[in-house]
A and B are shown apart, each in its own frame.
Chain A
Amino acid sequence: MNIIVCIKQVPDTTTVKIDPVKGTLIREGVPSIMNPDDKGGLELALQFKEKYGATVTVVTMGPPQADTILREAFAMGADRAILLSDRRFAGADTLATSYALAGCIKTLDYDLIIAGRQAIDGDTAQVGPEMAEHLGLPQISYVIGAEKTAKGFLVKKELEDGVQTLEVEGACLLTVLASAYQPRYMTVSGIIEAYNREVEVWSADKIDVEETKLGLKGSPTKVFKSFPKALKPAGETFEVSEEEAVELIISKLKEKHII
């Protein structure tokens, strides 16, 4: 089985601060990490590798320093790593990113494609589903469980109020939740080997996609404004009886013109 896992290098947003004037992330001095949902996806792929035997290929699009997360993937157990790195990819929104990744995947053999649900720096959750569309594959998002069947895969998808079990025939694309797949640690020998192995660096010429769909040119999304969420002050507390409570809530909601 050939599994392709799409991963992304993101700033560790648990330590990131927002520039109060510009409203953008202050990236200086913030460590870069493998996006947590993607790491969960890699963990699923490695579990499949152990259970059924598989070749796990990790793909990322990013600047040369994104190499680090591919080394980490090697040290966790990935077999092959591809870095899509080219100035022509720069400035890509989710659509252009999904075209680039799908363009790369089209040239590879695969039985299963796994991506994280969403990246912690953008939180769009769009790239995985968009890739599935470009590749003409069935997709299941918010995956919390998966196993191989004779014809394809049996997949558990998290819904707001429950879990849906779906059966899929043939190759498909799954987007995975980090909470369901606690990633393994890198092994010591994996770490020592990681930098002796080859990360394949691919330019836009190597992938199967029209160039107009890539980078800034291929990105319809324009950021109008970004701003930090205002902190809510602590709420008011009232000690009242049950009878009075309803009336109180209604009067407060009216006061704020909510009802």
Chain B
Amino acid sequence: MDFSYSKTEQLFLQMIRSFAENEVKPLAAEVDEEERFPVETVEKMAKLGLMGIPVPKQYGGAGGTIQMYTMAVEELSRVCATTGVILSAHTSLCVDPILEHGTEEQKMKYLPKLASGEWLGAFGLTEPNAGTDAAMQQTTAVDAGDKWILYGTKIFITNAANADVFIVMAMTDKSLGNKGISAFIVERTFKGFSIGKKEKKMGIRGSATCELIFENCEVPKENVLGKMGEGFKVAMKTLDGGRIGIASQALGIAQGAMDETVKYTKERKQFGKSIAQFQNTQFQMADLKTRVEAARLLVRSAAWKKDMGLPYSADAAMAKLYAAETAMDVTTKAVQFHGGYGYTREYPVERMMRDAKITEIYEGTSEVQRMVIAAQLFK
């Protein structure tokens, strides 16, 4: 057993940390305040090959690992959770299912453009009446001979406003329930497809979360992803991978809040000494640090299993559950340590606390993670 980073991973960390610090951090407050998608950052990430980390070279990617990808999401989220989730949704929810379930033609058509960052990816499962109960899909795909016609609405779609390719679940045979759902690759320019209203959110406000509207949207026959009727399976497997991404995002937020709080409590003086010298601060921070490290090990272990081709569904659920609750705990206490200042936008912990909350909700709520873990435990 070896817990150390490989030399390649160390070099990667050096790059991504410096990128996050110099290119991402300076924009974080503005991106949040103005609810602005950081296009310029995504362009820079694309240039460095960050949009295709785990994509094999033959499909135009960097040929890296899931582990490196999770390190990237963590380091970006440490300074800006919006930027972290842009990469996570793109990679885990669009690139990964095409890699896992795509035909050779689909891979050759979509992966090079996604990996180079020319195209941004997104994923559409959630509907107004199909949240955690994702099998209740109302978006329908009708066989029109040479193409599929989709109609319906998806909501809360991360990256939607800026994405070019969407993995979309739709009902192809209602009588079969779960097994009547199929997955489709939908391009933004397909006839009958449009982006609906943009959500105003508590956190990750720079991430463009919108509705997808399908009004007799024409999807070519060859754009079914995976087998007909296996869309639900594709979606669930995709979310397993996505949870490692969100766990990494949560871990990054928690680490970022730790960084800020260590700095602040050392500087801030009350009663003649820095508040870091009080035992209350020390004991609480020691507990938080321990939680963050435990979350990191869960994330590393889940990513390692995915890289090794081992089953990782429950591992991803545990990593996300624990990292998300850690992010919420750490950021809430970080605000408390900052006192009145922490409640203002002068300090980044206010934003971090708002950003942390979503990690307990999207890509499966914490309750769903518990269901996944328990299902594995009692099977």
Contact between B19 and A191, CB atoms less than 8 A apart: no
Contact between B11 and A194, CB atoms less than 8 A apart: yes
Q: How far is the CB of B212 from chain A (nearest CB, A)?
A: 30
Report A-chain residues with C-beta under 8 Å of the C-beta of B12.
Answer: 188, 191
Contact between B8 and A195, CB atoms less than 8 A apart: yes
A117 at the interface (CB under 8 A from B): no
Report A-chain residues with C-beta under 8 Å of the C-beta of B14.
Answer: 72, 186
The answer for the CA separation of A194 and B8 in the assembled complex, in Å, is 8
Contact between B63 and A191, CB atoms less than 8 A apart: no
Interface residues on B, range: 10 to 19
A76 nearest in chain B by CB position = B15
Q: Which residues of B, 33-71, contact A by the 8 Å Cβ criterion? A: 47-50, 52-53, 57, 62-64, 68
The answer for the CA separation of A211 and B47 in the assembled complex, in Å, is 46
Contacts A188-B64, A192-B63; is A75 near B49 (CB within 8 Å)?
no
Contact between B11 and A189, CB atoms less than 8 A apart: no
The answer for the CA separation of A189 and B52 in the assembled complex, in Å, is 10
Q: Interface residues of A, CB < 8 Å — how many?
A: 14
Q: How far is the CB of A14 from chain B (nearest CB, A)?
A: 13
Q: Interface on chain B toward A: helix, strand, loop, or mixed SS?
A: helix
Contact between A188 and B11, CB atoms less than 8 A apart: no
B18 at the interface (CB under 8 A from A): yes
Q: Which residues of A, 183-224, contact B by the 8 Å Cβ criterion? A: 185-192, 194-195
Contact between B8 and A186, CB atoms less than 8 A apart: no
B7 at the interface (CB under 8 A from A): yes
Q: How far is the CB of A85 from chain B (nearest CB, A)?
A: 17
Contact between A188 and B7, CB atoms less than 8 A apart: no
Report A-chain residues with C-beta under 8 Å of the C-beta of B47.
Answer: 187
Report B-chain residues with C-beta under 8 Å of the C-beta of A8.
Answer: none
Contact between A186 and B11, CB atoms less than 8 A apart: yes
Q: How far is the CB of B34 from chain A (nearest CB, A)?
A: 26
Q: How far is the CB of A29 from chain B (nearest CB, A)?
A: 15
Q: How far is the CB of B176 from chain A (nearest CB, A)?
A: 42
The answer for the CA separation of A187 and B8 in the assembled complex, in Å, is 12
The answer for the CA separation of A71 and B18 in the assembled complex, in Å, is 17
Contacts A71-B7, A195-B7; is A189 near B15 (CB within 8 Å)?
no
From B8, B18, B19, B50, give the contact of A192 (CB < 8 A).
Answer: B8
The answer for the CA separation of A188 and B87 in the assembled complex, in Å, is 14
Q: Which residues of A, 57-73, contact B by the 8 Å Cβ criterion? A: 68, 71-72
Contact between B8 and A185, CB atoms less than 8 A apart: no
The answer for the CA separation of A72 and B19 in the assembled complex, in Å, is 15
Q: How far is the CB of B73 from chain A (nearest CB, A)?
A: 13
Q: How far is the CB of A181 from chain B (nearest CB, A)?
A: 15
Beyond the given pairs A187-B48, A188-B12, 8 more chain A to chain B contacts, judged by CB atoms under 8 angstroms and listed by A's residue number, are A185-B15, A185-B19, A186-B15, A188-B15, A188-B50, A191-B11, A192-B8, A194-B8
* Residues in A lying within 8 Å of B, measured CB to CB: 68, 71-72, 75, 185-192, 194-195
* Residues in B lying within 8 Å of A, measured CB to CB: 7-8, 11-12, 14-15, 18-19, 47-50, 52-53, 57, 62-64, 68
A-B residue pairs in contact (CB < 8 Å), sample of 24: A68-B7, A68-B11, A71-B11, A72-B11, A75-B11, A185-B15, A185-B19, A185-B48, A186-B11, A186-B15, A186-B48, A187-B47, A187-B62, A188-B53, A188-B62, A188-B64, A189-B62, A189-B63, A191-B8, A191-B11, A192-B62, A192-B63, A194-B11, A195-B11
